[in-house]
Structure 1
Amino acid sequence: MRRSFASLALAAAIAVSGTAGAKPARKPAPAPVALSPTAPKLIVAISVDQFSADLFAQYRRLYTAGLARLQQGAVFPSGFQSHAATETCPGHSTLMTGDRPARTGIIANMWFDPANPRAEKRIYCAEDERDPASTPDDPVVSAWHLKVPTLGERLKAVSPASRNVAVSAKDRAVMMMGGHDIDAAYWWRRGAFVTLNGRKISPAVEAVNGLAADMIKAGDAPMALPEWCAPRDRAVAAGSKTVGTGRFPLEAGKEAGFRTSPRIDAATGALAARLVDEMKLGQGKAPDVLSVSFSATDYVGHTFGTEGAEMCIQMAELDKTIGSLLDHLDAKGIDYVVVLSADHGGFDLPERLTQQALPGAVRVGSGLGPDELAAAVTAKSGVTAPGRLLYSDGPFGDFYFSAALSAEDKAKAQAALVEIARAHPQVAAAYTKADLAAVPMPGGSPQDFTLIQRARASFDPQRSGDVVILLNRGVVPIPDPSRGAVATHGSPWDYDRRVPMLFWRKGLAGEEQPAPVETVDIAPTLAAMLGLVVPQGEFDGRCLDIDGGAGDTCAPKR
């Protein structure tokens, strides 16, 4: 019989004491500010990595546990990550800040700084590259690059007794949802949950790590395929790989099989529940914030695609995991509010989409790699550079020229790159830094943003590339699925931008609002529920009325 990690983790009682580990000393706290008398005691902010609005629509009638319960609250099926760079770090940076990447400064998972004195010019979004021990692949994890405060940080600034906690399999999700001033921060690294440098692992985390280690050592049986997943159970060839019929067997000693399966979500949920107990979250006089990012949907989407048996199993298991966490909070008698959304959507592998007669679903062809484009730029403009001429993290997104170029040569190279890119049959648009800087920050409905407005919402003049390239709809920027992921995200198109947004609280009247909203609306809405006053203009988003027509969610409550 397959063991349930969630049930094992939640059933194993442990003694808890102390806090979630040593923290750096804080400056003297300001005098507390009175919050709303109706404020919930605990904000539970859930992100499901790569949970597109399409995936939610496809499975929403089949959920029976946590995701079924959340649909009884306020449902916004057309939430938008309104920017173009639909990756994990930028998307997570919007959820608890209320700001788009243009303001958060988180333009991508990776960007480049050609003038950086270290030999490695790549910069990871959640590293502190000032530390000589940090590299993009083995970072000193930090929220250093996040330019704005999170909701948890804003709350702590006026309510010093409030705690700000974040957990995920991904360090970047923890840092972007938690921010700089964080009481407990845990993510998965090489087979265990770890925390920030200088802090100790708490007993709750040690217990979950022990359970995970036992399962990885022993292995685990394949997961059952729900009956309603049968139509998805079909093999599809993607290069030398075959996907679509997987059941997630866990080979003994293979940590990767644990991490790229629903088990990592179960472990994350169990850790969140144990931290609620250990830190008594939502059980004190001041409200707390718990951010939980579930990463398995993203891992499954990249490894197997979004339309096979693997994703169907993941949807069933995610529903149970969220249900277990909510049941745990109920048993504690906590007054809590939940918001669930996603950092971005996702797109299935083109080999399966082609079988489904979806026109335009193709893999990226040749000519768009940084070395190919650099050679083409040199041939067209005559510009060269010592070392690398052009840096990028793939065949789309931000492209950076060598810091050694003169202003005149850079202008020539930029013009050549834009002309070359725009002539490529798989490129939808190419913009220079000057093009994007000249565009006002977009407003109005996010579904109506033009391509350049979507790119502008991701643009930071200090960090964005000299040229930004956007691919056509349906072009998957993975040329060879045999070498790694079979599917991905990151485009400016709605299959990557549109995500669900669900709010739930006991007693909250249910409603569904189909009009487009933005993920940057989450933080202003939660701030209003707390009675947290934020100066006008500090949020890109707006407060949403989630009172089922009562019309006073966003009214001050004192």
Structure 2
Amino acid sequence: MRIKSLIAFAALFGALSGPAVAQEASPPRLVVVVVVDQFSANLFNQYRSRWTGGLHRLAEEGLVSINGYQTHGLTETCPGHSTVLTGAHPAQTGIPSNDWVDPATGKEVYCLAAPRNTLAHGRVTDNGPVGPDNIRAESLGDWMKAQKPGDRVFAVSGKDRGAINLAGHRPDGVFWFTDDFGLTTYVEPGQSAEARLAPVAAFNQAFRIRQQARTSSWWTGAETDCQALSGDWTINGQTFRSRVPPARDAFDNSPALDEETLAAATYLIDTQHLGQGRGTDLLGVSLSTTDRVGHAYGTQGPEMCEQMHRLDRALGTFLDRVAQIPGGALVVLTADHGGSDFVERIAARGYPHAHRIDNAPLSAVNDRLRDQFHLADSPLHSASSGLIVADKDDKALPAPLRDQVIDAALPLLRALPDIVFVEARDRLLQDPMPDTRNPEMLTVRERMRLSAVAERSADIIMIRAQNATGGGRVGGNIAGHGTPWDYDRRVPIVFWTPGAQAQERFLPIRTIDIAPTLAAVLGLSTPSLEGRAIPLWPEADAAPPEPGR
């Protein structure tokens, strides 16, 4: 799709009568893209009536698509974020999962690993040296910098993969929180760590003072509707006490992380004077707490309840600031993926099919393959998107043995309980890319094709039945996401600008439609994209249809 026309910002509010036409007008001075990690459409709808702050404002004043979709099947943070501002599926961004195994070395590779870089805070923490190198698609920020060099691009998050994916390859600043420091960033060869951190140096100093002065819990327990959700659950023989504050009372696992991320976003607006230049600035904001709460405590307890209320209030304060941008601002809110509750609570609430799976059948498959091919070690190893076929050091088996093991494994794996889809990655890659304009109609195979990347995806793609999960440890992760099922794929997509007419749209749109939509608003040319530009509010003042038409 080649977007050539400049859609006037005023046209968003219905200033055009009839079809939009190309005309010179000022686009918004600031575009803010907010991605709430693990914010499913189910969660959005569940709490929608309870919000009073920023989420209420977006839901009641914005253009709300209640059937937004991440189209692909492996619904994790890194691939989900990679779709939002590229207009491309993970199969095209080159980011199939949060990490993968290098078949030559057997080493795990983080999705945004960049060994040539260093981290600005001077330590190797979190995911090590990172950067945008592994992302194979350009994004909205890259188009802005190439076509309008005066435009500025910043991003901030609780996670490196949240910030970097939104910032693209050539941002003016990209920051995320790291333990005992504040906001950090990556430093490329020839760059200065001090210069890279300069935009947030004062913020970090004040942040550390706030952290050191903290004496109370990171949780308030003040939401009356949340306390009623408390309870005790048995998970893999351990007792999980679902209550606020939780047993692990840490900043990076609490609503305070999102509050500080939004404070940092506001700081960048103020100190970098975003939205106050002649062009348009882009600010990406990825909010990580909903994901961390969902993993550690599930989505239906008092922990997520408090997170939803506090996120709503923090976004309210942030939107108040955004609404003051003199030249106008356009805000988009979506999610990198959805999520589900832990299976024990799901089962107790009327869905007895939800359960944790037994890994013994997979062990039996490995036993048969070892015997059949006279192998000393099990050839099937778990990976983020399925199974790799490898030796004891996770290095790929040599040809033709690798293909022979895969051929023998497929029927055995398809016969396992709780497994609903199994296919070799290389065979899946032979399928054409599916038409995703009706994302709810995609087959499981098509969803997984949208996630498949040569060399990076697992050798064997394997999908479990709905609400069938493995693992689970109290004090670690007890719930998750990553499946092709709609509770992980459906996400809210909301466009908002002060004064625009509230509107709900029920037909599905995709996260890959966000980037071309924003590019059209900003008058940017794009490469050929899978996503399409969505008209925003064009009919507000449109002339009524002629009689009989």
Residue 537 of structure 2: aligned partner? 547
Distance (whole Å) between structure 2 residues aligned to residue 445 and residue 383 of structure 1? 47
State the match for 2:288 in structure 1: 295
Is 2:214 the partner of 1:218?
A: yes
Q: Does 1:471 align with 2:464?
A: yes
- Compared with structure 1, are the counterparts of its residues 400 and 288 closer, same or farther at alpha carbon in structure 2 (3 Å cutoff)? farther
Spell out, residue by residue over 1:175-218, the C-alpha distance to the aligned partner (whole angstroms, 9 max, x if none): 11112111111111123211112433236444245334533553
1:325 corresponds to: 318
8 Å contact from structure 1 (residues 46, 338) kept in 2: yes
Query: Residues 383, 83 of structure 1: CA spacing in aligned structure 2 closer, same or farther, 3 A cutoff?
Result: farther
Offset of residue 372 of structure 1: 6.7
- Report deviation, 1:235: 3.2
For residue 172 of structure 1, what is the aligned residue in structure 2? 161
Contact 2:266 / 2:318 at 8 angstroms: preserved in 1?
A: yes
Note if contact 1:208-1:271 (Cα within 8 Å) is conserved in structure 2. no
5 Å-filtered alignment, 1:35-184, equals 37-71=25-59, 72-116=61-105, 121-129=107-115, 138-184=127-173
Q: Please name the residue that 2:382 is paired with.
A: 392
> Which of 402, 412, 422 is the aligned partner of 1:410?
402
8 Å CA contact 2:296, 2:475 repeated in 1: no
Answer yes or no: is 1:382 the counterpart of 2:373: yes
Greater shift, 422-431 or 242-251, is seen at 242-251
Superposition pairs of residues 134-533 of structure 1, within 5 angstroms: 138-191=127-180, 192-197=182-187, 198-200=192-194, 201-202=197-198, 204-216=200-212, 218-221=214-217, 222-239=219-236, 240-247=238-245, 257-367=250-360, 374-379=366-371, 381-382=372-373, 384=375, 389-393=379-383, 397-402=386-391, 403=395, 405-443=397-435, 444-477=437-470, 479-482=471-474, 484-533=476-525
Q: Is the 8 A contact 1:426 1:475 kept in 2?
A: yes
Report the CA distance shift for 1:291/1:406 in structure 2 as closer, same or farther (over 3 A). Answer: same
Aligned AA (2:523) = G
SS of equivalent to 2:360 = coil
| Change over 3 Å in CA distance of 1:43–1:332 after alignment to 2 | closer
Deviations 1:207-241 (A, max 9, x none): 24533453355332441332333442333333424
Structure 1 residue identity aligned to 2:240? T
- Measure the CA separation in 2 of the matches of 1:404 and 1:331: 56
- Work out the CA distance in 2 between the residues paired with 1:270 and 1:439: 45
Q: Secondary structure at the match of 1:339?
A: strand
Alpha-carbon distance in 1 for matches of 2:183, 2:81: 19
Asked if the contact 2:501/2:540 (under 8 Å) is kept, the reply is no
**Do the aligned partners of residues 73 and 248 (structure 1) sit closer, same or farther apart at CA in structure 2, a change above 3 Å counting?**
same
Percent identity, please. Answer: 35
Deviations 1:153-196 (A, max 9, x none): 11110000111111001001111111211111111112321111
The alignment's TM-score, normalised by the length of structure 1, stands at 0.85
- Give the alignment's TM-score, normalised by structure 2: 0.86
Give a deviation string over 1:234-275, Cα, whole Å, max 9, x none: 333334242432235886xxxxx0000000001100001001
Q: List alignment gaps of at least 5 residues for structure 2.
A: 1-21, 543-549
| DSSP-derived class of the 1:232 partner | coil
Q: Cα offset for 1:414?
A: 0.4
Contact 1:95 1:523 survives alignment (8 Å): yes
Q: Is the 8 A contact 2:156 2:174 kept in 1?
A: yes
- Structure 1 residue 36, shift from structure 2 partner: 5.3
- Asked if 2 retains the 8 angstrom alpha-carbon contact of 1:174 and 1:186, the reply is yes
* C-alpha contact (below 8 Å) 1:92/1:173 kept by paired residues: yes
Deviations 1:288-312 (A, max 9, x none): 1000000000010011100001100
Asked if the contact 1:383–1:413 (Cα under 8 Å) also holds between the matched residues in 2, the reply is no
Higher mean alpha-carbon deviation, 148-157 vs 456-465, is at 456-465
Moved more, 509-518 or 296-305: 509-518
Taking the aligned partners of 2:125 and 2:374, their CA distance within structure 1 comes to: 29
Cα 1:383–1:501 shift into 2, 3 Å: farther
**CA 1:367/1:182 → structure 2, altered by over 3 Å: closer, same or farther?**
farther
Q: Is the 8 A contact 1:111 1:398 kept in 2?
A: no
2:388 partner SS: strand
Instruction: State the secondary structure of the residue aligned to 1:337.
Output: strand
For each residue in 1:378-431, what CA deviation from the matched residue of structure 2 results, as whole angstroms up to 9, or x when unmatched? 23x31537x77444335x535343555332211211012212211110111111
CA distance in 2, matches of 1:438, 1:114: 20
Count of paired positions: 504
Q: Residues 243 and 212 (structure 1 numbering): CA distance in 2 closer, same or farther, change over 3 Å?
A: farther
Residues 326-335 or 144-153, more deviating: 326-335
8 Å CA contact 2:338–2:489 kept in 1: the answer is: yes
Partner Cα separation in structure 2 for residue 108 and residue 427 of structure 1: 20
Deviates more, 1:226-235 or 1:480-489: 226-235
Structure 1 CA distance, aligned partners of 2:331 and 2:23?
A: 18
Distance 2:32 2:118 in 1: 35
The 8 Å contact of residues 114 and 400 in structure 1, kept in 2 or not, is answered as no
2:546 corresponds to which residue? none
Q: Distance in 2 between matches of 1:330 and 1:508?
A: 12
Contact 2:132 2:169 in 1 (8 A): yes
Cα distance per residue 1:334-373 (max 9 Å; x no partner) = 511000000000110111111101132111221376x775
Is the contact made by 2:389 and 2:406 (CA closer than 8 Å) also made in structure 1?
A: no
Please state whether the residue corresponding to 1:482 is helix, strand or coil: coil
Q: Which AA in structure 2 matches 1:57?
A: N
Query: Aligned-pair distance for 1:507?
Result: 3.0
Relative to structure 1, the CA distance from residue 419 to residue 336 in structure 2 (aligned partners, 3 Å threshold; closer, same or farther) is same
Aligned equivalents of 2:235, 2:329: Cα separation in 1:
44
Contact 1:338 1:504 in 2 (8 A): yes
2:126 and 2:55 map into 1 onto residues whose CA distance is 34
Other-structure match for 1:28: none
Shift of 1:65: 0.9
Q: Distance in 2 between matches of 1:220 and 1:250?
A: 13
- Taking a change above 3 Å as real, the CA distance of residues 398 and 43 of structure 1, as seen in their structure-2 partners, is farther
Change (3 A) 1:401 1:196: same
Question: Structure 1 stretches of 5 or more lacking a match?
Answer: 1-33, 252-256, 553-558
